[in-house]
Structure 1
């Protein structure tokens, strides 16, 4: 998989953007359907996370596409930590006119 949907710290304008910006790739605005939660485990003070759910709210973020991601998943798994898991979701681009399968880190 060479696509990752980000909705918080890994987004291009957020604090951890440099973790992906050094990879050759492209960014597109998009959204998924889900529910945004505060991490109930309090692993790190008030980490935000998404739980995937078609019946909730539109979570805006970015789709990052890069062939270099295939060699980077282990680093992302370590960064996200034990409170998150990587799953596949449908990301909607162009106001929902186009949908793309991508990975996303969500709360367990």
Structure 2
């Protein structure tokens, strides 16, 4: 991230030791936190407003709908890039957590 190779736990730490959510801090100080396991979404830590939502199609084997990551209008390119990269990391972790529940 940002041209450096680092551990995920350093770039995208958990706010609490046993928490499933992750916090990302952008170079300009803007922070957002990914939450949820079934419904995944990031929130701005200052305002607690939702800045994106991941709509997962759980019936992908039956219908043609695609899963989508809906990012709020007006998001900067840097924020959009950070959301997509951190979403990919968080979704992989959430998928592993969902599988371990059953």
Q: What's the TM-score once normalised by structure 2's chain length?
A: 0.28
**Larger fraction in helix:** 2
Higher relative contact order (CA 8 A, sep 6+): 1
Larger of the two Rg values belongs to structure: 2
**Larger fraction in strand:** 1
